[in-house]
Structure 1
Amino acid sequence: MREPLQEEALRGAGFVETRPPAGFGELWRSYRCEDGGCTGWFHVFSPGSAPWSISIHDFTMRGDFVMDLTPPRYLTVTWFKSIAGMELSPRRRLRPDSVWGQSIGAGPWEGVAHGGVPVQCVAIEVTPEFSARFLDDEYPDRFRGVERAFISLESFDEFPEMRTLLSRLWPRPGDRERSSLYYEGKVLQAMGLIVERSRHPRVVAGRRRVAPGDRERMRDVLRYIDDHCCADLRIDDLARMACMSPTKFKETFRRLNGRTLTRYVQGRRMSRAELLLRRPELTIGRVARTVGYTSASRFAALFKREVGVLPSEYRERLDV
């Protein structure tokens, strides 16, 4: 297995290779950091000399971390479960529960990830040579703009199919071990989704496009929701912020995010709960109340649906 494409960044942050945790099979390569400035994991799946890899980030930094790297050249599509930060050139905000495409390595990459917020994401990385071979095999003489297709994936986009594919690549304790062929199939599936979305955006989305003005207002509302996800959010109030009727707001929100407002808020709350469960001084009941639930049993059921395990089981695996 070759070195991760992020090797330079891993060394700079103090990660060292170690045994994979529960849920990750022998085919995964895991790194851990506990130097005080950063705590958590980085996992990578890259069999042999394969021209693709799958990486999982799951760590929290104490303070802001500025990245100024010159990595090898590759294309990547990422689903951010949790993140706070900014890509500096071009200037784009990194936000949670978003799908993000990039072309890395054409020059130095600069960005900042904010401390105190978990960096949790799943990414597929492919070399330009792999993408060229994929196009020759699947779209001979019909499509050449794969790099442009990756870059066109914004952090606020209608791509629930990719979000679902990437989120399911994160192994959970108790999952049966997957083969290299399984993961390679998912990489090829992701490539196909990106190309088809670029060639036929309206067909893939399956939904009427959102007007630019509505999209911009919804960006502002979504930022508000992300910042206040544990509060009592009311549709009427959010609709007024977006200058929409409640019915139009609900339809537009689902069109842009691929899920209802309720499911989105629940997902954000559970991401916040994962961070709080790492603090041993907080009881599970206190965590439930902090993220907006008066019923600990209701919180536990929603947490298991989103994360795959009960809060108590999650905490046990953290040794908290």
Structure 2
Amino acid sequence: MKSILDSLYLPYLSQIGFSPAADCDSGGGIRYELDPALGTGSVWVYPVDHLFAITINDLAFRCDVSLQYDQPSFLNVGIYEEVADGSPTGGEESLTGYVGYEHEYRMRFPRSVPVRSVGINLMPAYYKGILPGRFAEEIRALPEICSMLNGSFAIPEAAAALRQIRSYRPSPKVANMYYESKVLEIVSFLMQWGLDRKAHLASAHRADGDLDSLEAVREHIRRNYARQQALDALARLACMSPSALTSGFKRAYGMTMTEYAQSVRIEKSKDLLLNSGKGIKEVAQAVGYGKHASFTELFKRMTGLTPKEFRRITAPDRSS
């Protein structure tokens, strides 16, 4: 059986100008550099046999580039930096899923449009064979769940795990253990989200229009997490009364709108603590908390750690 590197990556990487970098990555993965004549950046891959792989993309082409290859069956889940008019939108990221099947795959990369993402790719031997056998048959629903992730849904825990993959490099001796643990963590978050969503939809006796309205409110909160959200304004967005919106949101998602906004803020703050040089007070302000103490209190309540403790443990090079 072909490895995931041979079946999924090598057929297209060499086709569009990537070759293995000379340096050795400390995380045990393989970095492929883009031909400078075609663009800048790289693709980093950590493959595990014919089962799964981690991928981090950070690149941009100088010209329009197209690829065409025989794609195998696989699942992909990742976070992608959103781009508008050819430019990044300032760190906004979307969680998306993709269900690949065996066919001739074609894709075009526009010139000067950055591609920045981190994701996991799972092969059928893993998500159809190993995972259901080790855990539960319900995991066979993973392709259906992945197909629902079109960038409009937020699963903060899965997004946070992907960002941790991007920011942390384990030593080669423990890399396999670390990356499989992160893959299992992400799959568990996806499965819980999918099962919860299915249960909510089955038990919620409401019109499709109401569900669409609730999704619109949730997406608005996700994108505007740093701002205070007035209930009346959200109700107008949903075309519902404030009381109907409040009760409907709680029934659909198992949490209040305030709790959801808090969860998004905390996940964003984790990303800033891991990947920025901002001080803790600056992080608090960036996610919408004017009072440093209020942010610290909520962060510890939701994570069990203060922001300073979280940064010291997960990003010691940024702690002070």
What displacement does 1:79 show? 3.1
Instruction: For 1:151 and 1:271, locate their aligned partners in 2 and report how far apart those are by CA, in whole Å.
Output: 23
Instruction: For 2:218 and 2:111, locate their aligned partners in 1 and report how far apart those are by CA, in whole Å.
Output: 19
Match of 1:119 in 2: 116
Q: Give ranges in structure 1 of 5+ residues lacking alignment.
A: 87-94, 315-320
Instruction: For 1:29 and 1:117, locate their aligned partners in 2 and report how far apart those are by CA, in whole Å.
Output: 21
**Deviates further, 263-272 or 117-126:** 263-272
Structural mapping, 1:111-150, within 5 Å: 119-126=116-123, 128-131=124-127, 133-134=129-130, 149=144
1:77-126 CA distance string (max 9 Å, x none): 3131x43269xxxxxxxx83525141244232447689777723221321
What displacement does 1:232 show? 4.5
1:136-159 CA distance string (max 9 Å, x none): 95699x899768536544334586
Identity between Structure 1 and Structure 2 (%) = 13
Amino acid at match of 2:315: V
What displacement does 1:51 show? 0.8
TM-score by length of 1: 0.58
2:99 to 93, 99, 102: 102
Match of 2:87 in 1: none
TM-score by length of 2: 0.58
Distance 1:241 1:150, change over 3 A: closer
Q: Are 1:78 and 1:166, in contact at CA under 8 Å, matched by a contact in 2?
A: no
Amino acid at match of 2:200: R
Name the SS for the 2:247 alignment partner: helix
2:174 to 162, 167, 178: 178
Instruction: For 2:254 and 2:270, locate their aligned partners in 1 and report how far apart those are by CA, in whole Å.
Output: 22
Instruction: For 1:17 and 1:295, locate their aligned partners in 2 and report how far apart those are by CA, in whole Å.
Output: 46
Amino acid at match of 1:247: T
Instruction: For 2:34 and 2:163, locate their aligned partners in 1 and report how far apart those are by CA, in whole Å.
Output: 23
1:51-92 CA distance string (max 9 Å, x none): 123223252648997765435303113131x43269xxxxxx
Instruction: For 2:168 and 2:149, locate their aligned partners in 1 and report how far apart those are by CA, in whole Å.
Output: 28
Distance 1:69 1:159, change over 3 A: farther
Q: Are 1:77 and 1:101, in contact at CA under 8 Å, matched by a contact in 2?
A: yes
Amino acid at match of 2:262: T
2:149 to 145, 154, 164: 154
Structural mapping, 1:1-320, within 5 Å: 3=5, 5-7=8-10, 8-9=12-13, 12=16, 16-19=20-23, 24-25=26-27, 27-32=28-33, 35=36, 41-47=42-48, 50-59=49-58, 61=60, 68-80=67-79, 82-84=80-82, 96-110=93-107, 119-126=116-123, 128-131=124-127, 133-134=129-130, 149=144, 152-155=147-150, 156=152, 169-170=165-166, 172=168, 178-180=174-176, 183-184=179-180, 202=195, 208-209=200-201, 211=206, 212-225=208-221, 228-244=224-240, 245=242, 247-248=246-247, 251=250, 254-255=253-254, 260-268=260-268, 308-309=314-315, 313=318
- Aligned pair count reads 290
Q: Give ranges in structure 2 of 5+ residues lacking alignment.
A: 85-91, 300-305
1:198-256 CA distance string (max 9 Å, x none): 9xx64x65852265323322443455455545545445433431234363365268449
1:261-292 CA distance string (max 9 Å, x none): 122145457768999x59xxx99998986765
Name the SS for the 1:51 alignment partner: coil
Instruction: For 1:117 and 1:233, locate their aligned partners in 2 and report how far apart those are by CA, in whole Å.
Output: 32
Instruction: For 1:221 and 1:64, locate their aligned partners in 2 and report how far apart those are by CA, in whole Å.
Output: 39
Instruction: For 1:58 and 1:305, locate their aligned partners in 2 and report how far apart those are by CA, in whole Å.
Output: 26
Name the SS for the 2:144 alignment partner: helix
Q: Give the aligned CA root-mean-square deviation in angstroms.
A: 5.7
Name the SS for the 2:239 alignment partner: coil
Distance 1:54 1:218, change over 3 A: farther
